[in-house]
Amino acid sequence: QSALTQPASVSGSPGQSITISCTGTSSDIESYNLVSWYQQHPGKAPKLMIYEDSKRPSGGSDRFSGSKSGKTASLTISGLQAEDEADYYCCSYAGSSTLVFGGGTKLTVL
């Protein structure tokens, strides 16, 4: 149950696109199509942005997209907006009905 690896921080200017990576192992990300991504603003509960690697929840913004290759999943945010500034967490199914989160990435909109 080792945490997934995310960059501590990323930044971008309004209108740009950024990508946050999430690296796991052959026991989690690579073995299942069950990576999810969460956005968390300070003092707030997390919000689901992507599930099952690349699916968006109903009503979710199409500026957010997810992908995966091997042991690494990615979250891409296009057309960056000020309100996208938040912490982002990836999460993967890790077998035997357990889950593991990444350490989180702080997104700064310049």
Partner 1 sequence: EVQLVESGGGLVQPGGSLRLSCAASGFTFGSYWMSWVRQAPGKGLEWVANIKQDGIDKYYVDSVKGRFTISRHNGKNSLYLEMNSLRDEDTAVYYCARAPLFYFDYWGQGTLVTVSS
Task: For the CB of residue 58, give the shortest distance to partner 1 in the complex, in Å.
Answer: 10
Distance of alpha carbon 24 from alpha carbon 69, whole angstroms:
11
Backbone angles phi, psi at 84, to 5 degrees: -80, -15
**Chain positions contacting partner 1, by CB under 8 A:** 1, 3, 34, 36, 38, 40, 45-48, 51-52, 57, 89, 91, 93, 96-104
The b/e string for 24-39 (b: 16+ C-beta within 10 A; e otherwise) is: beeebbeebebbbbbb
SS3 content of the chain, % helix, strand, coil (to 5): 5, 50, 50
Task: For the CB of residue 100, give the shortest distance to partner 1 in the complex, in Å.
Answer: 7
* Beta carbon nearer to partner 1, 14 or 57: 57
Q: Are 85 and 108 in contact (CB under 8 A)?
A: yes
* Beta carbon nearer to partner 1, 36 or 74: 36
* Beta carbon nearer to partner 1, 12 or 46: 46
* Beta carbon nearer to partner 1, 13 or 26: 26
Task: For the CB of residue 13, give the shortest distance to partner 1 in the complex, in Å.
Answer: 26
